[in-house]
Structure 1
């Protein structure tokens, strides 16, 4: 089988990344959230409550961005934010 035939065969199989996306969402994202929670608890255990609060705000913004990216609702969120400015 030549290289062009192999490429045509792969295209005919209609390969997607849905399985990889599902694996990342079900395995990697919870591990990241668990790591964040452990770090915040460790910082809070040292008595640096202001540091925990400061980091938590940044983490919330990051988690919102992650949620938008994972759900695929980026265009709808962008249209909503643009309608707030434009009217």
Structure 2
């Protein structure tokens, strides 16, 4: 089937495919890279406390990525605003 330029112009453009690709491919690769680096840098020297500090930063970064991907940041922002508005 040949796609004409009119058919392409009528389709909706968006970044959904790119977002799904990043979530499905880049995030696991980054997590694997961080895990290997943590084990290599901290585990080899016996610096377990340093590894756990860095791991805390990784958890914070994962929480931020989770908020960005799921879109629940708006609901959390409204909840925090409701705490101050009374």
Give the TM-score band, short-chain normalised: 0.7 to 0.9
Distance 1:84 1:39 in 2: 40
Structure 1 equivalent of residue 28 of structure 2: 30
Q: Please give the TM-score of this superposition, normalised by the length of structure 1.
A: 0.77
Paired residues, number: 80
C-alpha distance in 2 between matches for 1:35 and 1:84 = 39
Q: Which has the higher contact order (CA 8 A, sep 6+)?
A: 2
- 1:26, distance to aligned residue in structure 2 (A): 0.5
CA distance in 2, matches of 1:32, 1:82: 33
Gapped regions of structure 2 (runs ≥ 5) = 1-5
Give the root-mean-square deviation of aligned CA atoms.
1.9
| 5+ long unaligned stretches in structure 1 | 1-7
When the two structures are superposed, what TM-score results if normalisation uses the length of structure 2? 0.77
Moved over 4 A (4+): 8-11
Aligned partners of 1:35, 1:68: CA distance in 2, in Å? 21
